[in-house]
Amino acid sequence: MSVKLIQFVRWLVISTTLMQSTVIGGRETNFRAIFNFGDSNSDTGGLSAAFGQAPPPNGITFFHSPNGRFSDGRLIIDFIAKSFGLPYLNAYLDSVGSNFSHGANFATAGSTVRPQNTTKSQSGYSPISLDVQFQQFRDFKTRSKFVRERGGVFKELLPKEEYFSGALYTFDIGQNDLTAGYKLNFTTEQVKAYIPDVLGQFSRVIKGVHGEGGRTFWIHNTGPLGCLPYMLDRYPMSPAQMDEFGCAKPFNEVAQYFNKRLKESVEKLREELPDAKITYVDVYRVKYRLISHAQKYGMVFNFSFIVVAYLNYENVVK
Ligand SMILES: *[C@@H]1O[C@H](CO)[C@@H](O)[C@H](O)[C@H]1NC(C)=O
Ligand SMILES: *[C@@H]1O[C@H](CO)[C@@H](O)[C@H](O)[C@H]1NC(C)=O
Ligand SMILES: *[C@@H]1O[C@H](CO)[C@@H](O)[C@H](O)[C@H]1NC(C)=O
Ligand SMILES: *[C@@H]1O[C@H](CO)[C@@H](O)[C@H](O)[C@H]1NC(C)=O
């Protein structure tokens, strides 16, 4: 149990420290807005707004109370926004106190690329799958234009029309598509077999955003699934299937297979959309390195937080 818990908090801590200097540093920083699509890796309040607040102790180390993130602190997307001098992104679904002038976050914890054929209460997956997030984005874009014309405070709370083409479009989704198959007792071969469909639907959304004027894309690959405590807890592995850092090799191999195919999809998109700038970000490598060299990177574990967060996480997001 404690090994899994340690891995879980590593996972959380990673979210708060990951990208700040490694990937964002050195990039042009003239984006006026960010639009994000994804799952719990980048949800800043979507699932909480729709289905109830992420429970404590989430938020404990940075915001000092729950704030819509399934993390003790900030997420990579928070550091991305900060690195461009922009405020943290509000969730599109959060109707209270949100300011979307610099972008919006369509991610919800538990989201998948493909719409699932199970309800949230059956499987835990968010009904706000990537296709729904794209619809919400389109609606947001269209309505922002009209509502800004009303003037007053709306002009301050919604992005200018030209921000949409100049925005950074970020994506971090796919992890839950992989776990969804295992949840239905699929074999690894069966999970691999539907990955092309997942990536086909993913590419369709990138093209959809491009069709709406988006030109700059920042695409995270999926992390080491086999290091996630809820996977280790749910699907016990034989010692031979574990690596030296306590991660399940078969799940990590599926994640790597997904990433290989994702990278190919991105290469194809670059050919099909020559005027787009598409960056593929190897989050898997960074996360796995942090997990396998936690001490070296100064990870500090709060066991009380770990236990409570783990138990709550199990109940809220699968
Ligand atoms: C849901 O069911 C439809 C119709 O059978 C199928 O085409 C689709 O692939 C299924 N989706 C998933 C995520 O399994
Ligand atoms: C919304 O955010 C923008 C950009 O940070 C800021 O200039 C503006 O004052 C904010 N408006 C309100 C009403 O908070
Ligand atoms: C998967 O297998 C487990 C254990 O045999 C069983 O309890 C569960 O109902 C199965 N799930 C599905 C969706 O078939
Ligand atoms: C550790 O977590 C517990 C419960 O989540 C919290 O009450 C405590 O303040 C945390 N300690 C530190 C040093 O952050």
Residues spanned by the domain of 68: 3-313
Q: Please say whether the dihedral angle defined by the alpha carbons of residues 5, 52, 110 and 60, taken in this order, is positive or negative.
A: negative
pLDDT interval class at 297 (50, 70, 90): confident
In a domain, 125, yes or no: yes
Residue 295: predicted pLDDT = 81
Q: How far is the CA of 246 from the centre of ligand 4 (A)?
A: 25
Indicate whether 22 pLDDT > 60. Answer: no
Evaluate whether residue 304 is within a structural domain. Answer: yes
Q: Please tell me if the CB atom of residue 183 comes closer than 6 angstroms to any atom of ligand 1.
A: no
Q: Which residues pair with 168 in a beta bridge?
A: 34, 216
- The 10s digit of each residue's pLDDT in 77-113 is 999 999 999 999 999 999 999 999 999 999 999 999 9
The number of the ligand nearest the C-alpha atom of 181 reads: 1
- What band does 4 get if pLDDT is binned at 50, 70 and 90? very low
Cβ contacts of residue 30 below 8 Å, gap of 6+? 166
User: Mean pLDDT across the stretch 9-20?
Assistant: 39
Residue 102 CA to ligand 2 center (angstroms) comes to: 8
CA–CA dist 199, 265 (Å, integer): 7
210 has pLDDT over 70: yes
**Which ligand is closest in space to the CA of residue 65?**
4
Q: How many domains does the chain have?
A: 1
The confidence band for 312, taking pLDDT boundaries of 50, 70 and 90, is low
Is 69 contained in some domain? yes
Instruction: Please report the pLDDT score of residue 2 as a whole number.
Output: 34
In a domain, 227, yes or no: yes
Could you tell me if residue 95 is inside a domain? Answer: yes
For residue 318, is it within any domain?
no
What CATH number is attached to the domain comprising 149?
Answer: 3.40.50.1110
Nearest-CA neighbor of 126 among 39, 67, 184?
A: 39
Minimum CA distance residue for ligand 3 atom 7: 185
Identify the burial level of 63 via C-beta atoms within 10 angstroms of its C-beta, where 0-12 means exposed, 13-18 middle and 19 or more buried. middle
Taking the C-alpha atoms of residue 104 and residue 93, their distance in angstroms, rounded to an integer, is: 9
Query: Once rounded to an integer, what is the mean pLDDT over residues 216-220?
Result: 97
Give the mean model confidence (pLDDT) for residues 261-285: 97
Ligand 2 center to 142 CA (angstroms): 20
Instruction: Give the mutation target among 82, 156, 160, 163 for probing the ligand 2 site: most ligand atoms within 8 A of CB.
Output: 156
pLDDT tens-digit series, residues 125-158: 999 999 999 999 999 999 999 999 999 999 999 9
Q: How far is the CA of 51 from the centre of ligand 3 (A)?
A: 26
CB of 2 within 6 A of ligand 3: the answer is no
Report the separation in Å between the CA atom of 229 and the middle of ligand 4, taken as the mean of its atom positions: 20
Rounded CA gap, 228 and 192, in Å?
19
Residue 68 lies in a domain: yes
Residue 24, pLDDT above cutoff 70: no
Spell out the SS3 assignment of the chain.
CHHHHHHHHHHHHHHHHCCCCCCCCCCCCCCCCEEEEECCCCCCCHHHHHHCCCCCCCCCCCCCCCCCCCCCCCCHHHHHHHHCCCCCCCECCCCCCCCCCCEEECCCCCCCCCCCCCCHHHHCCCCCCHHHHHHHHHHHHHHHHHHHHCCCHHHHHCCCCCHHHHCEEEEECCHHHHHHHHHCCCCHHHHHHHHHHHHHHHHHHHHHHHHCCCCEEEEECCCCHHHCHHHHHHCCCCHHHECCCCCEHHHHHHHHHHHHHHHHHHHHHHHHCCCCEEEEECHHHHHHHHHHCCCCCCCCCCHHHHHHHHHHHHHHCC
The answer to the question of residue 271 being in a domain is yes
Give the mean pLDDT of the chain.
88
